[in-house]
Amino acid sequence: MNSYYAFIKTIETGSFTKAAEELGYTQSAISQMVHSLEEELSTTLILRSRKGITLTPDGEEFLPYIRKICNSHRELTEKHKEMEGLQSGLIRIGTFSSVTCHWIPGLIKDFKELYPTVHFELHQGNYTEISNWIKEGSVDFGFVNSNVSDLTTIPLQKDEMVAVMPVNHPLASSTVVSLEGLLKDPYILLDEGVIHGPLMIFKQYNFEPDTIPGI
Helix (H) or strand (E) holding 119: strand 118-124
Residue 215 in this model has a pLDDT that exceeds 70: no
Residue 195 in this model has a pLDDT that exceeds 80: no
At 92, the amino acid letter reads R
pTM above 0.85, yes or no: no
Residue 181 in this model has a pLDDT that exceeds 90: no
Work out the average pLDDT over 12-26: 89
Residue 162 in this model has a pLDDT that exceeds 90: no
Percent of the chain with pLDDT over 70: 87
At 142, the amino acid letter reads G
Q: How many CA atoms lie within 13 A of 10 on its CB side?
A: 31
Q: What is the pLDDT of residue 59?
A: 93
Q: What is the pLDDT of residue 88?
A: 63
| 197 CA to centre of own chain | 18
Model pLDDT for residues 46-93, shown as the tens digit of each residue = 988 877 888 999 999 999 999 989 888 888 887 777 766 656 678 899
Residue 16 in this model has a pLDDT that exceeds 60: yes
Query: Domains along the chain?
Result: 1-70 (1.10.10.10), 87-157 (3.40.190.10), 160-215 (no CATH)
Dihedrals φ, ψ of 188, to 5°? -80, 115
For residues 142 and 96, give the distance between their C-alpha atoms in angstroms, rounded to a whole number.
Answer: 9
